[in-house]
Structures are given as structure tokens and as C-alpha cells.
Amino acid sequence: MKISDKNYIIGVTGGVGAGKSTVLYYLENEFGARVYQADRISRSLTLSDGPAFNDVVALFGQEIIMPDGNVDRNEIARIVFHDPEKREALNAIIHPAVRRFLFHKARTRDGIIVFEAALPVEGDFKNLCDEIWYVRADEDTRVRRVTAARGYTEEKAREIIASQLTDAEYARLSDVIIDNNGDVQDVKEQIAVEIKRINSFFNGNKA
């Protein structure tokens, strides 16, 4: 679905520890893209003054409200990790709200726009984007990154990875694969190739 002829929308996805943040950094700081992350959007939506706050509290109960008045996102994450029904109910609240936010940004911003989400099958993510990039890294690399960044045990890191889409599933849903097993310069070069292709197509359509 093409939202606007004035922009080109890249969806960036990938599992925990794959290195999406590196790709997002270069897209924003080296190639001038406007970057929006689904997790940060959902966080803003569930703040005490956010449009999804009341629905989330109704789903999980008053006990998830912290002393500062906001919801305890860590507790919610713990609950939905073990309760698929609660996870589906939460997604039914958050995904439409995120989609409305992203749709608005896509209608009001020109140039290259980047939407990042860990799961390309949720929230109509794929239909909002002109193409999907999958940031890929092997499991051992991902485990090493997650344990270093978040302080998780190796067992916990592998459990989280196992709960996400497989490499083949991500690849099947995506148009471009960015290999992030190497150094950052290699990643930057891969991005540059894709941006050159997009700019050529985008500028040709505007001519």
C-alpha cells in the first residue's frame, strides 16, 4: 500500500541481538532517513496521558501502575511472555494505535522514512512499507550481544531468541537482508548500496 508518493518507507525488522540499532543509526545519521521505532511509539502510547493507557490498565489491573503513575512495562512483558491470551489482547490494543501513529507520520513526512518493528507480521507493518529489511546475525553472535547489553544469562538469551521468528521466517517476509555478523563498516556499505538503489528508483519516479 503506497501511502504517499512523496516518501519511500523502509520497514526494518529482526530478532533480539541482530543489531537493528546499528542499521537504524546509519539510516538516520548517515543517510538522512526519519526513523520511528515501534517499541518507543508503544511506550509513549501507554504513558499515563497516552491514548492506550486506560485500556492497558483495564487489561492487566491497577497493580501494574507504578508510583510515578505509568504502567510497569517490565511486569507487562513478564506476564505476556507466559500468557499468550494476554499477549494477543495487548496486541489488539497497541497495534492499531501504533498503526495510526505511523500512518500519520507517513502522510506528513517526505523522503525516506524508516519504521522499525521486531515482528513484521504484526500491526499491518508490511502493508505500511514499500519494502522490508531483515537485519540478520547468527545465534551465537546474537547471544553474545544480548548477554553483554542486557546482562542476561546465555540460557535466558537463547530462550528469548527461540521464542521469536526463525531466520527463514524473517527472510521469507522480507525484501532485503542486511547481514550484521561483520563489522560496522560492512553494514554501512550494505546500507549504502540499498539507499542508492532506492534513491535511483524514487528520484526516477519523481522526474
Q: What's the pLDDT score for residue 123?
A: 56
pTM for this entry: 0.83
Give the start-to-end residue ranges of the domains of the chain. 7-51+102-199
Percentage of the chain exceeding pLDDT 70: 92
Residues belonging to the chain: 207
Please, what is the average pLDDT of the chain? 89
Query: 22, 44, 34, 25: which is closest to 135 by C-alpha?
Result: 22
Check whether 156 has a pLDDT greater than 80. Answer: yes
- What is the mean pLDDT of the segment spanning 98-127? 78
Q: What's the pLDDT score for residue 1?
A: 47
Q: What's the pLDDT score for residue 30?
A: 94
**Confidence band, pLDDT 50/70/90 cuts, at residue 129:** confident
Whether domain 7-51+102-199 has CATH 3.40.50.300: the reply is yes
